[in-house]
């Protein structure tokens, strides 16, 4: 479904007959996604890393320049893929840089009701966390959100999968790690290009959210279905 106001019938149709829900983290389970918030911390740190490569000293300006380059390159290209292809900065190297420079403690705040929403999802589905963030930062963010890691059957970071979203290899890794199949999964995320389109192409159902508010809304609808 699209990012228009979700309606109960389409939410039910999306989740019906599926056994696994694959959640994106940033911009989905908490606000201020890395791509949705160009003034955010991860944008600053990406800019810090590429500023000498794009010739813009200010980290936010460098991020904006890099973002324009990625968008102009080809549809669906991810920033991690661009960092690797253009500058030879691999996922592991960038993640170690992020872990040193990002401060999720300064900006990540739990969204009201998100933990209870995951309770609802968890009562019916196997839950997977699937993120392009670094494995360590993802776990730091979960702690800040008050979400226990063991709520998820599997946590997959791009570095674990060997490829970032939107690569098909990322989703193949997710499905294999979760012990299910594409047509039994729902991908829930705020990124049309990273979470929704590639997953749909592989046979996932998809639920495109504008943020954690839509995750809470879907849980409300599903809770009604469970009663
Ligand atoms: Mg996201």
Q: What distance in angstroms lies between residue 158's CA and the mean position of ligand 1's atoms?
A: 13
With residues binned 3-state (H G I as helix, E B as strand, rest as coil), the percentages for the chain, rounded to 5, are 55, 10, 35
**Do residues 13 and 124 both lie within one domain?**
yes
Q: Is the dihedral of CA 128, 133, 136, 139 positive or negative?
A: negative
Let me know if residue 2 belongs to a domain: no
Whole-prediction pTM: 0.90
Let me know if residue 73 belongs to a domain: yes
Let me know if residue 191 belongs to a domain: yes
Q: What distance in angstroms lies between residue 56's CA and the mean position of ligand 1's atoms?
A: 26
**Do residues 18 and 51 both lie within one domain?**
no
SS3 208: strand
Q: What distance in angstroms lies between residue 79's CA and the mean position of ligand 1's atoms?
A: 13
Q: What is the pLDDT of residues 54-111, one digit of tens each?
A: 999 999 999 999 999 999 998 778 888 899 999 999 999 999 999 999 999 988 989 9
Q: Which DSSP symbol is given to 227?
A: -
**Do residues 87 and 185 both lie within one domain?**
no
Count of the separate structural domains present in the chain: 2
Q: What distance in angstroms lies between residue 193's CA and the mean position of ligand 1's atoms?
A: 10
CA–CA separation, 70 vs 47, rounded Å?
13
With CA atoms as reference, report the closest residue to 90 among 191, 38, 140, 162.
162
Q: What distance in angstroms lies between residue 81's CA and the mean position of ligand 1's atoms?
A: 16
With CA atoms as reference, report the closest residue to 95 among 159, 169, 191.
159
Q: What distance in angstroms lies between residue 192's CA and the mean position of ligand 1's atoms?
A: 9
Q: What is the pLDDT of residues 185-224, one digit of tens each?
A: 999 999 998 999 999 999 999 999 999 999 999 999 999 8
**Do residues 75 and 177 both lie within one domain?**
no
Q: What distance in angstroms lies between residue 227's CA and the mean position of ligand 1's atoms?
A: 30
């Amino acid at each position: 479904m699209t990012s228009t106001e979700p309606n109960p019938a389409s939410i039910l149709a999306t989740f019906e007959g599926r056994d696994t829900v694959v959640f994106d983290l940033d911009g989905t389970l908490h606000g201020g996604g890395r791509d949705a918030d160009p003034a955010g911390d991860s944008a600053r740190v990406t800019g810090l890393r590429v500023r000498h490569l794009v010739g813009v000293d200010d980290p936010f300006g460098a991020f904006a320049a890099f973002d324009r380059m990625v968008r102009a390159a080809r549809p669906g290209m991810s920033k991690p893929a661009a960092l690797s292809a253009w500058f030879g900065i691999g996922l592991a190297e960038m993640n170690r840089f992020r872990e040193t420079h990002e401060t999720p403690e300064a900006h990540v705040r739990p969204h009201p009701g998100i933990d209870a929403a995951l309770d609802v999802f968890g009562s019916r589905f196997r839950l997977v966390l699937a993120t392009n963030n670094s494995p360590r930062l993802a776990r730091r963010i979960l702690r800040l959100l008050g979400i226990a890691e063991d709520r998820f059957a599997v946590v997959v970071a791009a570095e674990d999968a060997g490829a970032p979203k939107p690569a098909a290899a990322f989703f193949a890794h997710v499905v294999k790690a979760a012990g299910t199949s594409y047509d039994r999964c729902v991908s829930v995320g705020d990124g049309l290009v990273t979470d929704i389109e590639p997953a749909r192409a592989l046979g996932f159902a998809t639920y495109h959210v504008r943020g954690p508010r839509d995750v809470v809304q879907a849980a409300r609808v599903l809770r009604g279905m469970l009663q």
